[in-house]
């Protein structure tokens, strides 16, 4: 009992200290620097959340900060226990994506835009039959390992990781595993990126991003309709996702008519290509900034110890996940953190930004959150959502990110290229990120 009190006090004192450090670090940058750039840096976001977790863990504002989806105000939730509460209570905190999903498909919703419903269960179940857990070890790891090794082996002492590796491998995985390469590799990368940007990133509702996303969607619909028609006309015996979908269709599976297959494929492809690319780039950038962690990842890569390599890559990604918040909208007035001093009632219609980045650095839930550790329990990570809508590709991500980076990490003398080229270029999706190395081991 006393030990628990002392431990609780110690953690809260550390939180207070971290809040103070955050204030001292951020204040000068926010007063005299470029505020947008300051807040875009993951390290600074972690400072902001240190401050909020201690001072104002749950904020409810009457102001609309997000324009892309209808809402009446904004709430920001920062403590691990409250973030998971929001994401678990999907009946009260609903996904908002439906109108944009319908715009992407020119009709139907996709399951990430659905509330818990028969259609949600039907579509997720169908796609789980087509994209199987066994495929991760049986197909995807060997495929991504081969594709990545080929690309890195052909690089002459330097490589543009974003342009030539992490954007290429997911697109080639889609080509081989889904059986839908796109009208070109470039079109697959570019189109899925623009749609993702429109759907999930552009919270300001920018017209140009909307137009780019919608025209990419029209092109992707045309391409996939054609690919499905072509497969009907000229069947193949490939064991790919498209053929598995068509087998489900022949078996009379509800939701698997051509349109259903096309819409589900669009959703998965949007989720797959830009995310895996950006995530791998960001994890590598974190490793490159931490010599000890990099050395650990390199040793694991060279020893072909995939479990240890994965632990390094996931831990690196925790420091800079591609989405620092997951957003929902309240269906009704909803109280969170009930019975605590930080309890707040969030009015109906409020956009709730549940910060998974903050949750992963909350010392009340995560031991030594600022330390780079490779022995963390799985519950310390909220890298791809939580609750009902947890990423469909979670096991794929855990497997493919390390495989893409592994041949790079095997190289001697891996380092950022000098100057701007060695920094991640392109926002919100990395376009270029050049690293150099001495020789292939
Ligand atoms: C590192 C790469 C990835 C990251 C960081 C990521 C992130 C996420 C996140 C945060 C969510 C939850 C969104 C929310 O609750 O609002 C999610 C859901 C989803 N992701 Fe991913 N994702 C990645 C890769 C993939 C891949 C490879 C696929 C496809 C195979 C995919 C397909 C989906 C789908 C379909 C959902 C919706 C799941 C549902 O509604 O049940 N994602 N992802």
Q: Which of 37, 55, 73 is the last residue of a domain?
A: 55
Q: Output the CA 394–ligand 1 centroid distance in Å.
A: 7
Residues 337 and 412 in one domain: yes
Residues 50 and 67 in one domain: no
The average confidence (pLDDT) of the chain is 96
Q: Indicate which atom in ligand 1 lies nearest the CA of residue 327.
A: 16
Residue 188 falls within a domain, yes or no?
yes
Q: Output the CA 392–ligand 1 centroid distance in Å.
A: 5
The torsion of the CA quartet 384, 130, 243, 269, rounded to 10 degrees, works out to: -10
Q: Is the pLDDT of residue 1 over 90?
A: no
Strand partners, 158: 436
Residue 441 falls within a domain, yes or no?
no
Phi first, then psi, for residue 353 (nearest 5°) are: -95, 100
Structural contact between residues 136 and 397, judged by C-beta atoms closer than 8 angstroms: no
Residue 254 falls within a domain, yes or no?
yes
**Closest residue CA from atom 40 of ligand 1:** 112
Residue 130 falls within a domain, yes or no?
yes
Residues 13 and 107 in one domain: no
Residues 9 and 67 in one domain: no
Q: Which of 55, 77, 98 is the last residue of a domain?
A: 55
Residues 145 and 38 in one domain: no
Residues 40 and 67 in one domain: no
User: What is the arithmetic mean of pLDDT over 53-68?
Assistant: 96
**Closest residue CA from atom 5 of ligand 1:** 384
Alpha-helix residue ranges (DSSP H) falling in 322-373: 356-360
Largest CA distance in the chain: 73
Give pLDDT, residue 32.
Answer: 82
Give pLDDT, residue 183.
Answer: 97
Lining ligand 1 with CB less than 6 A are 95, 111-112, 124, 131, 267-268, 271-272, 275-276, 279, 322-323, 326, 383-385, 389, 391-393, 396-397
Phi first, then psi, for residue 317 (nearest 5°) are: -65, -30
Q: Output the CA 277–ligand 1 centroid distance in Å.
A: 13
Provide the domain limits for residue 51: 1-55
% of residues, the chain, pLDDT over 70: 99
User: What is the arithmetic mean of pLDDT over 18-43?
Assistant: 89
Cα separation, 239 vs 177, whole angstroms: 8
- Residue 257 per-residue DSSP state: S
Three-state secondary structure call for residue 145: helix
Residues 191 and 221 in one domain: yes
Q: Output the CA 390–ligand 1 centroid distance in Å.
A: 7
Residue 228 falls within a domain, yes or no?
yes
Find the CATH number of the domain harbouring 145.
1.10.630.10
Q: Which of 270, 326, 384 to mutate to test the pocket of ligand 1 (most atoms within 8 A of CB)?
A: 384
Q: Output the CA 17–ligand 1 centroid distance in Å.
A: 35
Residue 337 falls within a domain, yes or no?
yes
Q: What is the pTM of this model?
A: 0.97
Cα separation, 217 vs 396, whole angstroms: 24
Taking residue 406's Cβ as centre, other Cβ atoms within 10 Å add up to 24
Residue 67 falls within a domain, yes or no?
yes
Q: Which helix (H) or strand (E) holds 140?
A: none
Residue 32 falls within a domain, yes or no?
yes
Domain count, the chain: 2
- Residue 392 per-residue DSSP state: T
Residues 51 and 151 in one domain: no
Cα separation, 411 vs 296, whole angstroms: 13
Residues 432 and 301 in one domain: yes
User: What is the arithmetic mean of pLDDT over 119-123?
Assistant: 98
Q: Is the pLDDT of residue 28 over 80?
A: yes
Residues 306 and 421 in one domain: yes
Q: Is the pLDDT of residue 277 over 50?
A: yes
Residues 126 and 11 in one domain: no
Q: Is the pLDDT of residue 30 over 90?
A: no
Three-state secondary structure call for residue 114: coil
Residues 219 and 344 in one domain: yes
């Amino acid at each position: 009992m006393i030990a628990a009190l002392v431990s609780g006090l110690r953690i809260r004192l550390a939180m207070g200290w971290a809040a103070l450090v955050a204030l001292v670090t951020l204040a000068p940058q926010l007063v005299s620097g470029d505020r947008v750039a300051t807040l875009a840096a993951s390290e600074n976001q972690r400072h902001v959340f240190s401050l909020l977790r201690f001072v104002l863990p749950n904020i409810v504002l009457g102001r609309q900060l997000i324009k892309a989806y209808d809402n009446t105000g904004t709430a920001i939730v920062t403590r691990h226990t409250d973030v998971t509460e929001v994401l678990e209570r999907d009946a009260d905190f609903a996904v908002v994506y439906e109108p944009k999903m319908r715009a992407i498909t020119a009709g139907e919703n996709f399951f990430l835009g659905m509330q818990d419903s028969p259609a949600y269960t039907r579509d997720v179940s169908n796609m789980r039959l087509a994209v199987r857990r066994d495929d991760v070890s049986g197909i995807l790891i060997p495929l991504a390992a081969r594709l990545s090794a080929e690309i890195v082996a052909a690089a002459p002492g330097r490589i543009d990781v974003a342009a030539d590796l992490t954007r290429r491998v997911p697109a080639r995985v889609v080509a081989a595993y889904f059986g839908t390469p796109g009208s070109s590799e470039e079109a697959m990368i570019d189109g899925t990126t623009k749609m993702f940007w429109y759907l999930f990133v552009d919270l300001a509702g920018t017209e140009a991003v909307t137009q780019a996303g919608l025209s990419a969607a029209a092109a992707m619909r045309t391409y996939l309709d054609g690919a499905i028609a072509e497969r009907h006309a000229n069947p193949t015996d490939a064991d790919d996702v498209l053929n598995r979908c068509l087998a489900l269709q022949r078996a009379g599976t509800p939701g698997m008519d051509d349109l259903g297959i096309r819409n589900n494929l669009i959703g998965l492809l949007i989720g797959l290509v830009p995310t895996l690319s950006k995530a791998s780039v960001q994890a590598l950038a974190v490793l490159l900034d931490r010599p000890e962690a990099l050395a650990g990842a390199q040793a694991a890569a060279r020893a072909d110890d995939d479990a240890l390599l994965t632990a390094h890559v996931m831990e690196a990604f925790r420091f800079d996940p591609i989405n620092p918040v997951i957003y929902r909208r309240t269906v009704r007035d909803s109280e969170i953190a009930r019975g605590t001093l930080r309890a707040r009632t969030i009015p109906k219609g409020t956009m709730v930004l549940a910060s998974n980045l903050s949750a992963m650095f909350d010392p009340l839930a995560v031991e030594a959150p600022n330390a780079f550790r490779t022995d963390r329990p799985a519950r310390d990570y909220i890298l791809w959502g939580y609750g009902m809508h947890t990423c469909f590709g979670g096991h794929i991500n855990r497997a493919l990110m390390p495989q893409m980076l592994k041949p790079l990490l095997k190289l001697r003398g891996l380092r950022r290229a000098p100057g701007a080229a060695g920094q991640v270029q392109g926002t919100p999706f990395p376009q270029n990120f050049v690293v150099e190395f001495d020789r292939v081991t």
